[in-house]
Amino acid sequence: MTDLRLELAYARGIHANYYDQMGVYHETSVETAVALLAALGIKADTEAEARAHLDAGDAWLPWDIVFEAGTKPWVDIGEATWRLTFEDGTKTEGRGAGALPVVPLGIHHLEADLPHGVQRITLLAAPVTIPLPDRAWGMTVPLYALSPEGIGSYDDLLPLVQGLGERGGSFLGMNPVHAGFPADPGLFSPYTPSHRRRLNVLHLKTSGGASNPLVDYENDGPARLQALREAFEKDKGSKAFTDYLEAEGRSLETFALHQALSDRFGPFWSGWPEAYQDPESAECTAARAELKAEIGFHSWLQWRAEAALTEAQAQAKAAGMSHGLYVDLAVGTHPHGAETWEDRDSFAFGASLGAPPDAFSAEGQNWGLAPFNPITLRDKAYAPLAETFARQLRVSGMLRVDHILGFERTFWVPQNAPGSYVTMPRDSMLAVARIEAARGNGGAGGIIIGEDLGNIPDGLRDALAGSGVLGCRVAMFERWQWDDPEFKPAQEYDQAAIASFSTHDLPTWMGWRQGADITARARIGSLDNAQTSKDQGHRTREVEALDRLLPEVELNTGQDALHDFLARTPSRLVAVQAEVILDMVDQQNLPGTTSEYPNWRLRLPGGAKALAKHKKLDRVAEIMRQNDR
């Protein structure tokens, strides 16, 4: 007989079992089920508590209805009376499903008087699909690495969008630019943000900074903030800034309060005095008045950051780039940063996002990131997700969703038990993506790309393609066989995709060919001599196998052959990497490491201006033109 706590877990979307990437079968234990239920906000330590939750059911949750925008949705409410509140706040009412009006693009709210009580219904009026982009190409860069000195800035994007636009490039991609932790400049990973609906202010341009080969966040971060404080004193009364404050309202004030309190108490709200851990407490209310000047400064930083990105996007479009900036959405947020402080109940606590065991992590991975709680996300009619998308597409034309496998299921790792998968409301989340894409890019419509690599659930790629969400086709992974390497020819790549050789988490072109990633892992002790030799031998076979698809490959001409291969694929978009253009060997991030490797600190030789003028870009542009891009 199944333990009722397991039965409740399955009913609330926790998987009963799963296979990891190595094909090993795992069953979810009672211990894991209880821990993950608690993370969802459901206390079920005993079977009696589980029975009470099962008996209560989930009638309190809204229904999700996904349908084509601009049509009349059919909702299974019989002849019930209903009240419809449109996204813009206007209201209407009626009786019976057949009386529902045409519903425009957006997220709307219906209440129906059903026999069991008032049923809340979320109406997701979305385009059927996001139109595929024309064949095009662009470049990806690490923003933090674009300046020869200090921390790369939003202004460093300007020469690159101009140079790419002149050469026919359509987009410029970069790492996430979410708000970080300026109170602790050592917390600089772009994929462990403090708030994904706010911007990283350390990318605002100031003069000075170290010119070391590695970006020095810990010294240059505080110096940059001090220079920005001085600029704020001269600019804080501008009308544009006061208009921004009025438009952003209390949400911006709350974020800025968090930043001001971080300056006083430290970066993580979990370590603050308890009275300040709730943004609506009496103490925080008093702090809004007491820290008014600091709140103004942190609000001004957000205004400056958004203005800088908006200008870069405008310059990109003026230079002829059809999409402009291509930004990245991190898969999760820090569990004790600004986003979870402001919007606590949208996230799961007591469990972290991670990954199941694989060949590199026998115990699985714990990413230290707070996942969206699918129950409260649904209860809030997906407003947090919609705002997250909208914020990115307000300053860009393309958005990459890191680890979009999480739209189908997310792997949660509780504090004291093995992890398991939790089902997410995929179809509704994809509808939100289509809605915000239609509104993005200044109303012209944005492009959504999903990083669909790893242990891919059955049916997910079909669902993404049906929504017009492009997949990622990474050349070093696109192969028929792994043990005896055999790579896919260019014509076998998917059309609804962006093709590239690598990513920020993988070796560069030169580094892959040399086995630099293997050498790096051996150097830090992750691989012993025998494994290092075995991996290097396999890499040699991999390089030979790929070279068979790239005619006349030599180290001095291999880049042309690689870019020609990518350009010939059916994939609508091709991303050329700055590290390939610059012959860089070391990759930007070595997954599974922290201080052992200089993650997110490798500077691009010469910076943005030198890259924008690089002769190899002319050759890339010619190759792309020859392949109708």
pLDDT at 58: 77
Is the pLDDT confidence value at 363 over 80? no
Could you give the C-alpha distances from 92 to 62, 84, 111, 221, 305, in angstroms and in order? 19, 5, 11, 52, 40
Token representation of residue 163:
């140079």
Any bridge partners for residue 140, and if so which?
Answer: 173, 577
pLDDT at 557: 58
Q: What is the pLDDT of residues 331-343, one digit of tens each?
A: 999 999 999 999 9
Is the pLDDT confidence value at 553 over 70? no
pLDDT at 59: 73
Q: What is the pLDDT of residues 103-129, one digit of tens each?
A: 999 999 999 999 889 999 999 999 999
> Rounded distance, CA 481 to CA 152, Å?
40
Q: What is the pLDDT of residues 302-340, one digit of tens each?
A: 999 999 999 999 999 999 999 999 999 999 999 999 999
> Rounded distance, CA 526 to CA 609, Å?
37
pLDDT at 19: 87
Mean pLDDT, residues 280-285 taken together = 97
Q: Residue 224: enclosing H or E segment and its boundaries?
A: helix 217-235
pLDDT at 77: 94
> Rounded distance, CA 105 to CA 87, Å?
9
Q: Please report the DSSP string for 558-617 in residue order.
A: HHHHHHHHHHHSS-SEEEEEHHHHTT--S-S--TT-STTTTTT-BPPTTHHHHHHT-HHH
pLDDT band at residue 478 under the 50/70/90 scheme: very high
pLDDT at 116: 84
Q: Please report the DSSP string for 447-493 in residue order.
A: EEEE---SSPPTTHHHHHHHHT-BEEEETTT-EEETTTTEEPPGGGS
Mean pLDDT, residues 527-549 taken together = 95
> Rounded distance, CA 316 to CA 162, Å?
7
Instruction: Tell me the average pLDDT of the chain.
Output: 94
Give me the percent of the chain exceeding a pLDDT of 70: 98
Lowest mean pLDDT among 9-18, 357-366, 487-496, 574-583: 357-366
Q: What is the pLDDT of residues 47-61, one digit of tens each?
A: 999 999 999 887 778
pLDDT band at residue 360 under the 50/70/90 scheme: low
Mean pLDDT, residues 562-583 taken together = 97
pLDDT at 415: 87
Is the pLDDT confidence value at 554 over 80? no
pLDDT band at residue 210 under the 50/70/90 scheme: confident
Mean pLDDT, residues 388-416 taken together = 95
pLDDT band at residue 454 under the 50/70/90 scheme: confident
Q: Residue 119: enclosing H or E segment and its boundaries?
A: strand 117-126
Mean pLDDT, residues 406-434 taken together = 95
Q: What is the pLDDT of residues 120-173, one digit of tens each?
A: 999 999 999 999 999 999 999 999 999 999 999 999 999 999 999 999 999 999
Q: What structural domains does the chain harbor?
A: 4-56 (no CATH), 70-126 (no CATH), 136-626 (3.20.20.80)
Q: What is the pLDDT of residues 225-256, one digit of tens each?
A: 999 999 998 888 889 999 999 999 999 999 99
pLDDT at 108: 98
Q: Are 73 and 108 in contact (CB under 8 A)?
A: no
